[in-house]
A = this chain, B = another copy of it.
Amino acid sequence: MQFHLNGFNAGDPRVQAPSEMAKTNPQTDSLPEQVDVLIVGCGPAGLTLAAQLAAFPDIRTRIIEQKEGPLQLGQADGVACRTMEMFEAFGFSRRVMEEAYWVNEVTFWKPDTKRPEHIVRNGRVQDTEDGLSEFPHVILNQARVHDFYLEVMKNSPSRLVPDYSRSLVDVEVDRTATDYPVTVRVARTDAAHQGQEEVVRARYVVGCDGARSAVRKSIGRELRGDSANQAWGVMDVLAVTDFPDIRLKAAIHSATEGNVLIIPREGGYLVRLYVELDKLNENERVASRNITVDHLIAAAQRVLHPYTLDVKEVAWWSVYEIGQRISDHYDDVAGRGDDAALPHVFIAGDACHTHSPKAGQGMNFSMQDTFNLGWKLASVLRGQCNPELLHSYSAERQSVAQELIDFDRTWAKMFSDRPSEGGAGGVDPKAFEQYFVKQGRFTAGTETHYQPSMITGDSTHQALAEGLTIGKRFHSAPVFRLADARPLHLGHVARADGRWRLYAFAGKHDNGGAESGIRALCEYLTDSPASPLRRFTPAGCDIDSVFDVRAIFQQSHRDLALESMPAMLLPRKGRYGLQDYEKVFFAGLNSGQDIFDMRGINRTLGCLIIVRPDQYVAQVLPLAARQELADFFDGFMQQPS
């Protein structure tokens, strides 16, 4: 954490100084007439976006929610490794790690061959393969994830808080308008304001309003897909049981009584059970069955036989039908044949894709949607990037969601199938386990792979860093900081602040001195008129306000000298021109491998890794590839006016 740059401030450094706007014109209980971005819905997608945009006090953001206040319990709970990496950028990964249940292993249970009415443990696998991420896969009440985002928003310069008890009436886009083309009507639903309506004009509207999204309907999009016609129940319980794996994620196939998935929960006592219920008829909704929590408990007890389950308290429960559905496009213009039209309305999260909760992907994917969209909206609104950049949101997120849907369909089907015992039909328990292992990376969220586009390069120079795949998330590794010899994760320097990271990995003998490739790159970036840093960083801003350049050397710090580093790596910043000492790193040794080994970086040549504000690798370039570097950013950035 860096703070005190513009003077010492007492108190919690997470509480940032309020912006002038937040001081002189603090948020009131009424929606303003005009905003830059109106977010509809305070779920994981909406809050990720709100937390991202709140970092930019020059962007006027509001977020509305139907409910009367913050979520208290229930709903999603799985937090994938990739999501934890994003939480790190928002500053609350460690709080989640402290509170959450960690999924370390998964066990698989099947009918006992000799006594099929009994279940027996049939397998045990590590949940996440070694080295996949520096973060664990964890389980935490969705409400707590909301709490952490709300805290980030409240502590941001914007002091953003949601506007609750607001129901969307309609959304209209005026394509002839010169500015604020979206008009949104909102009904207030709390007792004090019943019957009142607010009208907001927005530059952009983002519908994070769930599977029945009103925003989606307003732009004529729909979810398409199928349903397995299978009802499931879910319950969070405090219970006493002699089932030995109650604190492990456990997938249980019984012979004739259906299936149960056990997900232990935070705090050591609470546990979630997903319980298979009835097959539904075609087009039947689960609500028609009048299922009670007692049905769920009884079904779980039958599956767990011969183990007992004595439920003492039900904290939350629900029933649902499995279905995988997705919208073909995520904005108001994509695929409609008008290449000149720019998107102004977006949908994200459950509004554009729904699936079974079994793979624990819904919440995670929703948050990644808006982490993808957030920096794009911010950079367009702030004049850093061309508005055409916004097309990439639907293009990137829809295709990776389609892959998820396909995976999820297979997974959910295997989960609901009867176990086979050598004969035909049903799912082979070992095959089920193998599929789980094979898809571990997918489930961890680390397999998301964006295709080449204006913001994702091709693979020309991929060989310079085999382990940092272009289009995939920047896979962090441990390094040491030169100025204070502190061990840390390189990826954790990336905060959710909309900036691009340029990680310059030095060649073998490069020590930052006269012959240094790093020095030459830094001098180009600061001095050349063609430098993207010079062209796209607004006058009067800190030198790292758009591009955050960091260098990683191979030598030990005892063979490097801070004082002979290029000036750009010790930049003067803020009102006092203080030096920033956190730009230079050395590889050091961690369990025999350093970051060059771990990520397959060419030790002879080094390389430059360009990382997007949402932590995805945009390009791998030779250190000296000036033209390719300039061309890349020319493709979508615009010079400050």
Contact = CB atoms under 8 A, between A and B. Distances in A.
A264 B94 contact: no
A143 B9 CA distance: 12
A510 B542 CA distance: 63
Interface string A552-574: 00000010011100000000100
Interface string A32-45: 00000000000000
A94 B105 contact: no
Contact of A269 (B72, B98, B124, B578): B578
B1 A98 contact: yes
A580 B269 CA distance: 7
A225 interface: no
Contact of A578 (B11, B312, B485, B558): B312
A13 B268 contact: no
Q: How large is the interface on A (under 10, 10 to 19, 20 to 34, 35 or more residues)?
A: 35 or more
A281 interface: no
Q: How many chain copies does the complex carry?
A: 2
Contact of A268 (B2, B73, B101, B248): B2
A434 interface: no
A143 B10 contact: yes
A336 interface: no
A247 B248 CA distance: 44
Interface stretch (A237-245, A350-358, A597-605): A237-245
A8 B313 contact: yes
Across the A-B interface, the 8 shortest Cβ-Cβ residue pairs: A8-B315, A312-B576, A247-B483, A3-B267, A10-B72, A104-B485, A2-B268, A247-B484
Interface of A: 1-5, 7-8, 10-13, 72-73, 94, 98-99, 101-102, 104-105, 124, 143-144, 147, 236, 238-240, 242, 244, 246-248, 264, 266-270, 312-313, 315-316, 483-487, 558, 561-563, 572, 576-582, 591
Given A8-B316, A104-B486, A268-B580, 20 more contacts: A2-B269, A3-B267, A3-B269, A4-B270, A5-B269, A8-B238, A8-B313, A11-B147, A12-B144, A12-B147, A102-B484, A102-B486, A104-B484, A239-B578, A240-B578, A244-B562, A247-B483, A248-B484, A268-B581, A269-B580
